[in-house]
Amino acid sequence: MKSLININARSIPDAIQAAQQAIADGNQVAFSGGGTDLLQQLKDGTDLANVIISLRNVEDTRTIVSSGADISVGGLITLNELAENPLIISGLTAVAQAAASVGTPQIRNVGTLAGNITQRPWCWYYRNGFNCFKAGGDQCFSVNGENGQHAIFGGGPSYIVHPSDVAPALVAFNAVFTVSGPNGNRELTSEDFFVLPITNPERENSLEEGELLTGVRIPAVSANTVSTYYKVMDRQAWTHAEVGVATVIQRNGNQVQNASIVLAGVAPIPWRVQAVEDFLVGKQIGEAVAREAGQLAVEDAQPLANNAHKLPMTAAAIERAVLSLAAG
Ligand SMILES: Cc1cc2nc3c(=O)[nH]c(=O)nc-3n(C[C@H](O)[C@H](O)[C@H](O)COP(=O)(O)OP(=O)(O)OC[C@H]3O[C@@H](n4cnc5c(N)ncnc54)[C@H](O)[C@@H]3O)c2cc1C
Ligand code: SF4
Q: What is the pLDDT of residue 235?
A: 86
Residue pair 215/72 in contact by the 8 Å Cβ criterion = yes
Reply yes or no on whether the pLDDT at 77 is more than 70: yes
Reply yes or no on whether the pLDDT at 110 is more than 60: yes
Residue pair 197/205 in contact by the 8 Å Cβ criterion = no
The rounded Å distance from CA 115 to ligand 2 centre is 21
Q: Quick one: average pLDDT of 292-313? A: 98
Q: Is 80 in the pocket of ligand 1 (CB under 6 A)?
A: no
Q: What is the pLDDT of residue 47?
A: 86
State the pTM of this model. 0.98
pLDDT tens column, 18-40: 999 999 999 999 999 999 999 99
Specify which residues 32 forms β-bridges with.
Answer: 54
Residue owning the nearest CA to atom 8 of ligand 2: 132
Reply yes or no on whether the pLDDT at 73 is more than 60: yes
Q: Is 228 in the pocket of ligand 1 (CB under 6 A)?
A: no
Reply yes or no on whether the pLDDT at 328 is more than 80: no
Secondary structure (3-state) at 68: coil
Of all residues in the chain, the percent with pLDDT exceeding 90 is 95
User: Cα–Cα–Cα angle for 269, 107, 135, nearest 5°?
Assistant: 45
Distance CA 243, CA 169 (A): 13
pLDDT tens column, 116-150: 999 999 999 999 999 999 999 999 999 999 999 99
Residue pair 94/174 in contact by the 8 Å Cβ criterion = no
- For a ligand 2 pocket test, name from 44, 141, 146 the mutation site with the most ligand atoms within 8 angstroms of its C-beta: 141
Mean pLDDT of the chain: 97
Long-range Cβ contacts of 59-65 (<8 Å, 24+ apart): 59/10, 59/11, 60/11, 60/12, 61/12, 61/114, 61/214, 61/215, 64/88
Q: What is the pLDDT of residue 39?
A: 94
pLDDT tens column, 142-179: 999 999 999 999 999 999 999 999 999 999 999 999 99
Reply yes or no on whether the pLDDT at 1 is more than 70: no
Fold of 64-119+160-219: 3.30.465
The rounded Å distance from CA 125 to ligand 2 centre is 6
What is the position in ligand 2's atom list of the atom closest to the CA of 150? 1
Of all residues in the chain, the percent with pLDDT exceeding 70 is 100
The rounded Å distance from CA 71 to ligand 1 centre is 22
Fold of 225-324: Enolase-like; domain 1 (3.30.390)
Q: What is the pLDDT of residue 237?
A: 77
Q: Is 239 in the pocket of ligand 1 (CB under 6 A)?
A: yes
pLDDT interval class at 295 (50, 70, 90): very high
Class of the CATH-defined domain 1-60: alpha beta
The rounded Å distance from CA 145 to ligand 2 centre is 10
Residue pair 306/146 in contact by the 8 Å Cβ criterion = yes
Q: What is the pLDDT of residue 326?
A: 97
Q: What is the pLDDT of residue 126?
A: 95
Residue owning the nearest CA to atom 3 of ligand 2: 126
Q: Which residue ranges make up each domain of the chain?
A: 1-60, 64-119+160-219, 225-324
pLDDT tens column, 44-72: 888 889 999 999 999 999 999 999 999 99
The rounded Å distance from CA 143 to ligand 2 centre is 8
Residue owning the nearest CA to atom 38 of ligand 1: 115
Sheet-wide strand order for 29-32: 5-8, 51-54, 29-32
Q: What is the pLDDT of residue 44?
A: 87
